[in-house]
């Protein structure tokens, strides 16, 4: 099938969403097991013990412990509002932040960081003027900031206004909760379908009837992800997650030409973001490239940076190791596929 299609179904009894682009699985979201705290969840949490030597602090919630990296000016026993920022390795406290963010398809609201802005990716000056009028017509609570996301550029004005008003109402409701009291979950983190509708581009079609994954061959595409190998036009990449890091091996196959190393590495780095997000992998990423002269490293770096910029999950290129490996640091926005679908 040509074009894009978003499918909603269930896997292992949990909600799942898939994005298929030109007949190929491009993205996959699966709700975590019930004992996992979802990123985006907001809690009224109680400050527990400080983590000496790390500058952080453990926060207590009804669903388990959170780790606050910056615990300055917070005393043990204090009550704070905290938002889960990402997943943690099983057995560890989920990272959290005191800066709360309310995110929807068209906007982000930031309590305590006032200001009304529009995404820099929206460059049409006429549209920016129209959006400026919209955001300045929205009533916000004191100290509340607003940023319009890129999706607002092509959206209907009425849809943007309705979205802004809905998120603003939710933000006021949550932030007006009493600061004191017992630890409590104030807002659940978004589900797989909610994230898909919020962050994925508008598709050419939807299928949300039961069995959609089977009808469109997504079940088979997911089964193929259990193999660590992703074929390229020439060669392949092998992506394997370990407890410490994600190892990526680039193979040029049987091509022994002078340009084989460069071409394969560029293709591999362009394919890597998709291979990582489909498998839910993040943290430290170490890439062992195909043989590559140092003079060609910049071209491979540029290809990697361009690919990760379009990926949507924060990923930073750290540098080259003395052994010639590439290192990246990627936010753990998802659980590994092997945990969501054991």
Query: Which residue segment(s) compose the domain that 74 sits in?
Result: 42-97
- Same domain for 263 and 289, yes or no, is yes
DSSP state of 43: E
206 band by pLDDT with thresholds 50, 70 and 90: very high
- Same domain for 73 and 176, yes or no, is no
- Same domain for 92 and 128, yes or no, is no
- Look at residue 1 and tell me whether its pLDDT is greater than 80: no
In a domain, 240, yes or no: yes
- Same domain for 271 and 313, yes or no, is yes
The pLDDT score that the predictor gives to residue 258 is: 63
Report, as an integer, the average pLDDT of 179-204. 95
Q: Residue 313 belongs to a domain with what CATH number?
A: 3.30.1370
Q: What percent of the chain clears pLDDT 70, i.e. is strictly above it?
A: 97
In a domain, 188, yes or no: no
Question: Is the distance from CB of 222 to CB of 9 less than 8 angstroms?
Answer: no
Number of domains the chain contains = 4
Across the beta sheet with 107-111, the strand order is 102-103, 107-111, 144-148, 115-118
- Look at residue 46 and tell me whether its pLDDT is greater than 90: yes
The number of CA neighbours under 13 Å toward the Cβ of 282 is 19
- Look at residue 259 and tell me whether its pLDDT is greater than 80: no
Q: Residue 175 belongs to a domain with what CATH number?
A: 3.30.230.10
SS3 helix, strand, coil % of the chain, rounded to 5? 30, 30, 40
Pairing status of strand 205-207 against strand 4-11: parallel
- Same domain for 316 and 242, yes or no, is yes
- Same domain for 253 and 303, yes or no, is yes
The pLDDT score that the predictor gives to residue 72 is: 75
In a domain, 71, yes or no: yes
* pLDDT tens, position by position, 11-45: 989 999 999 999 999 999 999 999 899 999 999 99
pTM for this prediction: 0.91
The pLDDT score that the predictor gives to residue 113 is: 92
| Cα–Cα distance list, 172 to 113, 166, 176 (Å) | 14, 10, 6
* pLDDT tens, position by position, 56-104: 899 999 999 999 987 778 888 999 999 999 998 888 899 999 999 999 9
Question: Is the distance from CB of 230 to CB of 33 less than 8 angstroms?
Answer: no
Q: Where are the alpha helices (DSSP H) in the chain?
A: 125-136, 157-175, 192-199, 212-215, 218-224, 260-279, 297-309, 337-340
In a domain, 92, yes or no: yes
């Amino acid at each position: 099938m040509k074009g894009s299609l978003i499918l909603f179904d269930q896997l292992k009894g949990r909600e799942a969403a898939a994005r298929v682009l030109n007949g190929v699985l491009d993205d996959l979201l699966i709700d975590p097991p019930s004992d996992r705290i979802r990123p985006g969840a907001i809690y009224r949490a109680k400050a527990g013990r400080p983590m000496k030597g790390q500058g952080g602090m453990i926060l207590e919630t009804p669903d388990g412990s959170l780790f606050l990296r910056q615990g300055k000016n917070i005393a043990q026993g204090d009550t704070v509002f905290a938002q889960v920022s990402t997943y943690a390795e099983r057995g560890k406290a989920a990272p959290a932040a005191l800066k709360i963010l309310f995110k929807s398809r068209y906007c982000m609201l930031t309590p305590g960081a006032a200001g009304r802005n529009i995404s820099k990716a929206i460059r049409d000056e006429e549209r920016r003027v129209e959006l400026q009028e919209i955001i300045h017509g929205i009533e916000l609570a004191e100290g509340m900031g607003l940023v319009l996301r890129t999706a607002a550029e092509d959206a209907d004005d009425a849809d943007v206004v309705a979205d802004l008003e809905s998120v603003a109402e939710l933000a006021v409701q949550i932030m007006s909760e009493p600061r004191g009291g017992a630890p409590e979950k104030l807002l659940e983190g978004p589900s797989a379908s909610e994230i898909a509708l919020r962050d994925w581009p508008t598709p050419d079609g939807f299928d949300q009837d039961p069995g959609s994954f089977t009808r469109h061959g997504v079940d088979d595409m997911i089964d193929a992800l259990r193999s660590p190998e992703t074929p390229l036009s020439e060669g392949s990449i092998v992506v394997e997650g370990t407890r410490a890091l994600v190892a990526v091996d680039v193979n040029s196959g049987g091509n022994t030409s002078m340009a084989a190393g460069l071409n394969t590495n560029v293709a591999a780095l362009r394919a890597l973001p998709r291979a990582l997000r489909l498998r839910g992998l993040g943290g430290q990423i170490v890439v062992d490239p195909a043989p590559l002269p140092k003079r060609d490293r910049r071209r491979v770096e540029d290809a990697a940076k361009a690919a990760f910029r379009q990926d949507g999950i924060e990923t930073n290129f750290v540098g080259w190791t003395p052994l010639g490996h590439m290192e990246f640091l990627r936010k753990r926005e998802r659980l590994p596929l092997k945990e969501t679908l054991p």
